[in-house]
Chains A and B, each alone.
Chain A
Amino acid sequence: MIKIARLFLALVLVFLYLPIVVMAAMGFNASPLYALPFDFTTHWYQELAGNGRLIEAGWNSIWLAVLTSVIATALGTLAALALWRRTFRGRSILRILLLPPIAIPWLITGTAMLVFFFWTGIGRGLHAMLIGHVALAIPYVVLVVGTGLQTLRADLEEAAMSLGSTPIHAFFRVTLPLLLPSIVGAALFAFAVSLDQFVISYFLSVPGMTTLPVEIYSAIRKGFTPEINAISTILLVASMIVILGFARFARPGGIGERS
């Protein structure tokens, strides 16, 4: 029974990783029509280096993810401090209000942003994407930092203050350092949310102001080339590294904690 279970797990992992591995391998195959036998080349990566459009979209994605991460982490951490360290009326409603960006299909959120930003004159482009990405990332930051705060004892801060520390001093010398792993984890998570975001970027992009996923999508719709495999592989590896970093800093949702 145990052996069957382990075999099944192995099959699930093959199912999850096989297409990704095939896709990545094809980026190193010489044939532009993905024909086998496999013939190793870095030609498509060199081609990529000369593709100004994709490079520009790549930089847009990175800058957008950095800004999203910084803004969402700053705002979300403050909100988490209020939602988990203070009691006030309406707290549970405010916590529920974090759900719409996570729970409503992105198609609906994205088109709603398109309509509203058009109507108010905010328009489309990278600034509109930044507004959207930060809104998507804030709830995740609040939840990750909030989970961190829950495991952090409030009395440490009170102890520091009863020993004569000022509230600001206590926050910066006691709470913040202890909370730092959660905050770094939340920042990495926000970075990944933005880097991988496609739907909202798609609706808010204008030609010449796109992100990598949007460019990849329009390239796929025009026809497959191994160059798309190359850029997709880079994006995939980048987000895997960021997410493993997140798992290292903030152990999400008690995964593996109880084992």
Chain B
Amino acid sequence: MPPEAGVAGLPAARRRMPPWVATAALLLPSYAWLTLAVLLPLAAMFAFSFLHATPLGNKPVVWTLEQYRAFYDQPYLLGVAWASLSIGLWTTGICAVVGFAAALALVRATAGRARETLLILVLLPFWTNGLVRVFSWTMVIREGGFLDTFVRWFWPSAPSLGFLYTTPAIVLGLVHGYLPYMVLTCYIALLSIDEAVIEAAQSLGARWWTVLFKILVPLAAPGLVTGAILIFVPVIGAFMEPRILGGRVGVTMGTVIEDQFTQAFNWPLGSALAFTMLAVVLAVFATFSGVLRRSAAT
């Protein structure tokens, strides 16, 4: 790497070499690394998804489209896909409602240093280990866990409320994990709303729900949509949360794909399922990038 690297378009540097050389030298290490570690692996996986079987040993390489027929050949996968989708929708929906409300409360009911501290407190758990946070929920919602103990303080003979190893437990863990995203994106969107718009509406007699649904929600829509994408995409690929919080009911597309790579060693099927999921993810991005651009334009 040339030491001139850090300098932008300067006469001295230009005299010694064309500027694109330095630009390329600055960019090459990062992009070579990304190519080796992310782009080539994705391309290789795409190729694997057209194979008949994992090319181990001396098995002949047979190209086929059969892996993409999996949903047709193994109908139980449709049920799994539906389970993943509904977990994704529930998680995203709950995060949207709670996250928007929390962001609104931050913007309208706090200020200054208190607001800054509260925001950091909301975001802090997000950057800690997700696995540990999922594990911590098992302490609360297992039978005889914290939730049961707490309820039995007031009602000693209460039946167990523990719901570990159920679908709601998975959704709870995922909401806990991804809520901070929604708070942050809605917070940024709500901050940019002009106070005068709200005051004008109120002075014209608008009640709070009119202000909420006719002004705040539409104007903060880009934040809501961004947050929803940021949550939905990782959630439908989740496998660790369903495994720990869902136990035997926790079969999702994420866990099925994981199984193909760690248990069944059916890499072509796993690759095909992963790329089917990636297609869904890209479709979500494509659908909503249009919405976002339109709302940014108006």
Report the Cα distance A114→B271, complex, angstroms.
11
Report the Cα distance A131→B115, complex, angstroms.
39
Instruction: Point out the residues of chain A lying under 8 angstroms from B8, CB to CB.
Output: 81, 85-86, 154, 157
Interface size (A, Cβ < 8 Å)? 97
A45 part of interface (Cβ distance < 8 Å): no
B144 to chain A, nearest CB (A): 8
- Are B257 and A168 in contact, with the CB atoms below 8 A? no
A185 part of interface (Cβ distance < 8 Å): no
A198 part of interface (Cβ distance < 8 Å): yes
Chain A interface mostly helix, strand, loop or mixed?
helix
Instruction: Point out the residues of chain A lying under 8 angstroms from B104, CB to CB.
Output: 5
- Are A34 and B145 in contact, with the CB atoms below 8 A? yes
Closest to B26 in A: A82
B45 part of interface (Cβ distance < 8 Å): yes
A window 210-253: CB within 8 A of B: 213, 216-217, 220-221, 224, 228-229, 232, 235-236, 239-240, 243-244, 247, 253
B window 201-221: CB within 8 A of A: 208
A107 part of interface (Cβ distance < 8 Å): yes
- Are A26 and B7 in contact, with the CB atoms below 8 A? no
Write the A112-133 contact mask toward B (1 if CB under 8 angstroms, else 0). Answer: 1111110100000000000110
Instruction: Point out the residues of chain B lying under 8 angstroms from A49, CB to CB.
Output: none
Report the Cα distance A79→B1, complex, angstroms.
12
- Are B105 and A135 in contact, with the CB atoms below 8 A? no
Q: Which one of A97, A217, A255 has the highest number of Cβ atoms from chain B below 10 Å of its Cβ?
A: A255
B132: contacting residue among A85, A116, A232, CB under 8 A: A232
Instruction: Point out the residues of chain A lying under 8 angstroms from B271, CB to CB.
Output: 111-112, 115
Instruction: Point out the residues of chain B lying under 8 angstroms from A88, CB to CB.
Output: 20, 23
Instruction: Point out the residues of chain A lying under 8 angstroms from B13, CB to CB.
Output: 167
- Are A196 and B130 in contact, with the CB atoms below 8 A? yes
B6 part of interface (Cβ distance < 8 Å): yes
Closest to A228 in B: B135
- Are A20 and B1 in contact, with the CB atoms below 8 A? no
B105: contacting residue among A5, A94, A98, A259, CB under 8 A: A5
Instruction: Point out the residues of chain B lying under 8 angstroms from A97, CB to CB.
Output: 31, 34, 39
Report the Cα distance A189→B185, complex, angstroms.
19
| CB-CB under 8 A for A100 and B39, given A107-B239, A166-B12 | yes
- Count A/B pairs, Cβ under 8 Å: 285
B window 91-138: CB within 8 A of A: 98, 101-102, 104-106, 108-112, 115-116, 118-125, 127-133, 135-138
B105 to chain A, nearest CB (A): 4
B137: contacting residue among A12, A19, A116, A176, CB under 8 A: A19
A9: contacting residue among B1, B34, B105, B236, CB under 8 A: B105
A163 part of interface (Cβ distance < 8 Å): no
Instruction: Point out the residues of chain A lying under 8 angstroms from B286, CB to CB.
Output: none
- Are B135 and A255 in contact, with the CB atoms below 8 A? no
- Are B105 and A6 in contact, with the CB atoms below 8 A? yes
| CB-CB under 8 A for A112 and B42, given A170-B7, A198-B129, A243-B124 | yes
Closest to B152 in A: A36
Write the A190-205 contact mask toward B (1 if CB under 8 angstroms, else 0). Answer: 0010011011000100
| CB-CB under 8 A for A134 and B44, given A19-B140, A34-B139, A103-B233 | no
A window 1-39: CB within 8 A of B: 1-2, 5-6, 8-9, 12-13, 15-20, 22-23, 26, 34-36
Write the B170-210 contact mask toward A (1 if CB under 8 angstroms, else 0). Answer: 00000010011001100010010000000000000000100
| CB-CB under 8 A for A235 and B40, given A13-B121, A108-B277, A115-B48 | no
| CB-CB under 8 A for A247 and B136, given A79-B26, A82-B23, A154-B8 | no
Report the Cα distance A75→B31, complex, angstroms.
9
Report the Cα distance A9→B117, complex, angstroms.
12
| CB-CB under 8 A for A103 and B131, given A8-B101, A116-B41, A256-B119 | no
A19-B140, A85-B8, A203-B261 known, 5 other contacts, Cβ within 8 Å: A1-B109, A2-B108, A8-B101, A75-B33, A100-B42
